[in-house]
Amino acid sequence: MRVRSGPAATEAASCAAVQADLGWALGVVFRGYLKAANAAVADLPGGPRGYQVLAAAAHDQPRSQLKLAQQLGVDRTVMTYLVDDLEKAGLVERHPDPADRRARRLSATDAGKDLLCRLDERLRRAEDHLLSALDSADRDMLRTLLQRVALRLDAADPVGACTAVAEIRQATGEPNAAG
């Protein structure tokens, strides 16, 4: 067996070291996930942000449009336009909050709930494709382990999911979603 030396060997060793690095692997998987997830919800008004708003409205979380904007890290004016677009598409409705008539609560319409189910299925297929190098048991294990690490990190330094994604995008130089 011939051992390489010189610049080619140094470059190969450097590539192997990068590919064994956890940060590199997480970054590559994260970029792949963002690309697949964005494509899965691209036809929804607002794309990924629209999906987050629709999902929150379908699951009654949080109760007010303003609180949702804060949770997602979206400027309230941007949130208004986003909800306007979802409402025009017949996917969400605004209702006065009985506890505070100035506040608006969001709810998903039946059409919004149906679309959310289809989008969730698209996202599931995108995730399955992304993790296709793993068998089913390994996929489940990866999800379990990542969830365990994420919950521990979030408990130590709670940051909203959308804020965390925005920070990661900023750190990696990727454009942030609207807002």
Is 7 contained in some domain?
A: no
Is 145 contained in some domain?
A: yes
Is 121 contained in some domain?
A: yes
Q: Which domain does 166 fall in, by range?
A: 22-172
Residue with tokens 């709930």: 113
DSSP-derived letter for residue 108 is E
Q: What percent of the chain has pLDDT over 70?
A: 78
Q: Give alpha helix (H) positions in the chain.
A: 7-19, 22-40, 47-58, 65-72, 76-88, 110-130, 136-156, 161-172
Is 82 contained in some domain?
A: yes
Is 44 contained in some domain?
A: yes
Number of domains in the chain: 1
In this prediction the pTM is 0.72
Nearest residue to 74 via CA among 116, 106, 121: 106
| Tokens describing residue 121 | 């299925």
Is 16 contained in some domain?
A: no
The pLDDT value recorded for residue 119 is 98
Model pLDDT for residues 52-102, shown as the tens digit of each residue: 999 999 998 767 888 888 888 889 999 999 999 999 999 999 988 888 888
26: domain CATH number is 1.10.10.10
Is 111 contained in some domain?
A: yes
Is 17 contained in some domain?
A: no
At 55, the amino acid letter reads: A
3-state class (DSSP) for residue 130: helix
